[in-house]
Amino acid sequence: MGLWSRLRRRLRPPRRLSFTREGRLIVIMSVGVGFAAINTGNNLLYLLLGWLLSFIIASGILSEMTLKRLKVDRRPPPRVFAGEPF
Protein backbone atom coordinates (compact mmCIF):
# COMPACT_ATOMS: atom_id res chain seq x y z
CA MET A 1 0.00 0.00 0.00
CA GLY A 2 1.48 3.30 -1.07
CA LEU A 3 1.97 6.44 0.93
CA TRP A 4 -0.69 8.38 -0.98
CA SER A 5 -3.40 5.78 -0.49
CA ARG A 6 -2.70 5.60 3.26
CA LEU A 7 -2.70 9.40 3.50
CA ARG A 8 -5.95 9.66 1.53
CA ARG A 9 -7.57 7.04 3.76
CA ARG A 10 -6.57 8.92 6.91
CA LEU A 11 -7.74 12.30 5.60
CA ARG A 12 -11.21 11.26 4.49
CA PRO A 13 -14.03 12.50 6.71
CA PRO A 14 -15.08 10.15 9.52
CA ARG A 15 -18.29 8.19 9.36
CA ARG A 16 -21.36 10.17 10.36
CA LEU A 17 -23.02 8.98 13.56
CA SER A 18 -26.72 9.13 14.21
CA PHE A 19 -28.57 8.13 17.34
CA THR A 20 -31.75 6.11 17.46
CA ARG A 21 -34.54 7.09 19.81
CA GLU A 22 -33.41 4.43 22.28
CA GLY A 23 -29.79 5.56 21.98
CA ARG A 24 -30.75 9.13 22.82
CA LEU A 25 -32.67 7.82 25.83
CA ILE A 26 -29.61 5.90 27.08
CA VAL A 27 -27.37 8.97 26.66
CA ILE A 28 -29.86 11.20 28.50
CA MET A 29 -30.19 8.61 31.27
CA SER A 30 -26.39 8.36 31.53
CA VAL A 31 -26.05 12.12 31.90
CA GLY A 32 -28.84 12.19 34.48
CA VAL A 33 -27.44 9.29 36.49
CA GLY A 34 -23.93 10.77 36.25
CA PHE A 35 -25.17 14.11 37.56
CA ALA A 36 -27.06 12.38 40.37
CA ALA A 37 -24.02 10.25 41.26
CA ILE A 38 -21.75 13.29 41.47
CA ASN A 39 -24.37 15.28 43.38
CA THR A 40 -25.13 12.60 45.99
CA GLY A 41 -21.92 10.57 46.07
CA ASN A 42 -23.96 7.36 46.10
CA ASN A 43 -21.83 4.36 45.08
CA LEU A 44 -24.82 2.51 43.62
CA LEU A 45 -25.39 5.38 41.19
CA TYR A 46 -21.73 5.25 40.18
CA LEU A 47 -22.13 1.52 39.51
CA LEU A 48 -25.24 2.18 37.40
CA LEU A 49 -23.38 4.91 35.51
CA GLY A 50 -20.56 2.48 34.78
CA TRP A 51 -23.02 -0.05 33.40
CA LEU A 52 -24.71 2.54 31.19
CA LEU A 53 -21.40 3.79 29.82
CA SER A 54 -20.16 0.25 29.22
CA PHE A 55 -23.32 -0.51 27.22
CA ILE A 56 -22.66 2.55 25.05
CA ILE A 57 -19.02 1.52 24.47
CA ALA A 58 -19.94 -2.13 23.77
CA SER A 59 -22.60 -1.01 21.30
CA GLY A 60 -20.08 1.15 19.45
CA ILE A 61 -17.47 -1.60 19.29
CA LEU A 62 -19.93 -4.27 18.15
CA SER A 63 -21.48 -2.06 15.48
CA GLU A 64 -18.03 -1.13 14.17
CA MET A 65 -17.03 -4.80 14.01
CA THR A 66 -20.26 -5.67 12.21
CA LEU A 67 -19.90 -2.96 9.56
CA LYS A 68 -16.13 -3.26 9.16
CA ARG A 69 -16.12 -5.54 6.12
CA LEU A 70 -19.48 -4.67 4.64
CA LYS A 71 -19.32 -4.14 0.89
CA VAL A 72 -22.16 -2.72 -1.19
CA ASP A 73 -22.48 -3.14 -4.95
CA ARG A 74 -24.79 -0.93 -6.98
CA ARG A 75 -25.86 -2.23 -10.36
CA PRO A 76 -27.99 -0.20 -12.74
CA PRO A 77 -30.92 -1.90 -14.44
CA PRO A 78 -30.20 -3.19 -17.99
CA ARG A 79 -32.73 -0.86 -19.68
CA VAL A 80 -34.57 2.22 -18.48
CA PHE A 81 -37.42 3.91 -20.34
CA ALA A 82 -39.13 7.18 -19.49
CA GLY A 83 -42.45 6.77 -17.71
CA GLU A 84 -41.83 3.15 -16.64
CA PRO A 85 -40.81 2.17 -13.13
CA PHE A 86 -37.57 0.27 -12.81
Per-residue model confidence as pLDDT tens digits over 24-60: 999 999 999 999 999 999 999 999 999 999 999 999 8
Report the alpha-carbon distance of residue 46 to residue 55 in Å, rounded. Answer: 14
Q: How many CA within 13 A on the CB side of residue 39?
A: 6
Give the pLDDT band (50/70/90) at residue 16: confident
Evaluate whether residue 7 is within a structural domain: no
| Cα–Cα distances in angstroms (integers) from residue 41 to residues 20, 47, 56, in the given order | 31, 11, 23
Evaluate whether residue 76 is within a structural domain: no
Evaluate whether residue 84 is within a structural domain: no
Q: Which segments of the chain does DSSP mark as H helices, in order?
A: 3-11, 21-40, 43-67
Whole domain around residue 33: which residue ranges? Answer: 20-66
Evaluate whether residue 2 is within a structural domain: no
* For range 68-78, the mean pLDDT: 85
The rounded radius of gyration (Å) of the Cα atoms in the chain is 22
What's the pLDDT score for residue 86? 67
* pTM of the shown model: 0.64
CA–chain centroid gap for 79, Å, is 37
Q: What's the number of domains the chain is made of?
A: 1
